[in-house]
Amino acid sequence: MKILITGATGLVGSRLLESLMMKGYDDIRVLTRDKKFALEKIPFPVELFLWNPKDQYLEAGALDDVEVIIHLAGENIADGRWSAEKKKRILESRLQSSNLLINEIKKNKIPPRKFISSSAVGIYGNRKDEIITTKSSLADDFLATVCKNWEDSVLKSNIPNMKAQCIRTGVVLADSGGALQKMLPAFKAGVAGRIGSGAQYMSWIHIDDLVNQFIFLVENNSHHDVYNGTAPSPVTNIEFTKALGAALKRPTIFPIPSLALKVLFGEMSDILLNGQRVIPAEFLDEGFKFKFGNITEAFRDILKFNNAGETVLKRYQWIDRPSELVFNFFSNENNLEKITPPYLGFKVMGKNTAEITAGTKINYKLKIHGIPLSWKSEISVFEKNKTFTDIQLSGPYKKWVHQHDFINCKKGTLIKDKVVYKLPMGFIGGLVAGYFVNKDIKNIFAYRNTIIKNQFK
């Protein structure tokens, strides 16, 4: 199945692309305004096609053989005050992109079987504690008007043999980026509290559930045109605030007055002060299963590493070689020296088994910012040609777990690295060195990716 995605480098789009690849959907096409930028941001083997909605330009062949379009592109509504120019960009970015796709589809002899577009629960306006479903009336304020025009451009396209659908998304909670990450510094510092009266409802959703909703519509013969992309248990802002404070073990006693928000953000403050109590009735009726049905479960998952003082890094790299060849290279400890930047002075000193396997212990030496260090690790998991995990037994970190996965993908190998690490000295260690360590590790992976790419040319 060939799937085309717009907005693939955004918060939801990047997680959706990752999830699709992990589920075996490897025939994916991405529309981008800048192929160089997309190549840097997207580590997966996707096809890139240029588009420019403002100029109504779409590269030839972009829609050929596409079965499903997932349309996520649009100006960020929460990025800056809503000036007249900003509001114009918010509306036009959605209408121009949707109209371009629909007009190009009409030129093709065979349309996609599905066109799934994002929308937003802002379409319902401020509804206090009224329970909202897709059958509820719609508002007529700025956000609602944007959403209605956006949806109409897709749902009223009337293209034969193409099912058009929209997901009205709530507040997306994610472990990297999005609204929650903007809130965390104040909450972690204990200087946060309710927004305005706190009585307004927040229709939220864990990013994994939202991504799975898009995939659910891709995989199933779903019947509705419009769905609410929210969790089944919306909460008031006070409940949200208390749940987040409890998850972080921090007080939430400093409210943000409505007037202050209006002064700071102008009309954009409406998205914080207004609320909707939205229920995902259609998804529930069609059997969609939520992984995170309540706010406590969602925060527990998203903050599990944060609360433990741990940092998680995930990296992917696709290599046009079979997994057996790539795995053999990585499971030879001497090759670690090849893929590590020379300035680290990384050297393998020996191991306790002839071949790498579960239980193998390896000794290294290296320099971090010129300081000589020893490192001893153990291979805790080893499954030939598929995965292995090394854990630090002694070294510079309080915790270091590095999982290497080798996934057959598009006649090559998708290398997935997941590193979980914790610095010594707890909060103080993270405060003093966290930024620099994170930057160092990212630079090491960037160097490694370049060497691996050249190694398997």
- The mean pLDDT values, 10 residues at a time, for the chain of 457 residues are 96 97 96 95 97 96 97 85 87 94 93 96 92 96 93 95 96 89 87 90 96 98 96 95 94 83 69 88 97 96 92 95 95 91 93 94 92 95 96 95 96 96 79 80 93 91
- How far, in Å, CA of 391 to CA of 284, rounded? 41
| Alpha helices (H) along 232-294 | 237-248, 258-265, 270-273, 281-285
Instruction: Go through the domains of the chain in sequence order and give each one's CATH number.
Output: 3-307 (3.40.50.720), 310-455 (3.30.530.20)
Phi first, then psi, for residue 54 (nearest 5°) are -60, -40
Q: Helices 237-248 and 295-302 meet at what angle, rounded to 10?
A: 40
CA distances from 377 to 385, 390, 392, 447 (A): 20, 6, 4, 22
Whether the predicted model's global pTM rises above the 0.75 cut: yes
pLDDT attached to residue 368: 87
pLDDT of residue 264: 62
Beta bridge partners, 76, equal: none
DSSP 123: G
What does each C-alpha distance from 126 to 3, 134, 292, 431 come to in angstroms? 35, 15, 25, 40
Measured distance CA(451)–CA(457) in Å, rounded: 10
Give the pLDDT score at 77. Answer: 82
Residues 6+ apart with CB under 8 A from 152: none
H or E segment and range at residue 214: helix 207-219
Q: Determine the pLDDT at residue 431.
A: 66
Q: What is residue 191's three-state secondary structure?
A: coil
Q: DSSP assignment, residue 168?
A: E
State residue 425's pLDDT score: 78
Alpha-carbon span 128 to 369, nearest angstrom: 55
- Contacts of residue 24, Cβ cutoff 8 Å, sequence gap at least 6: none
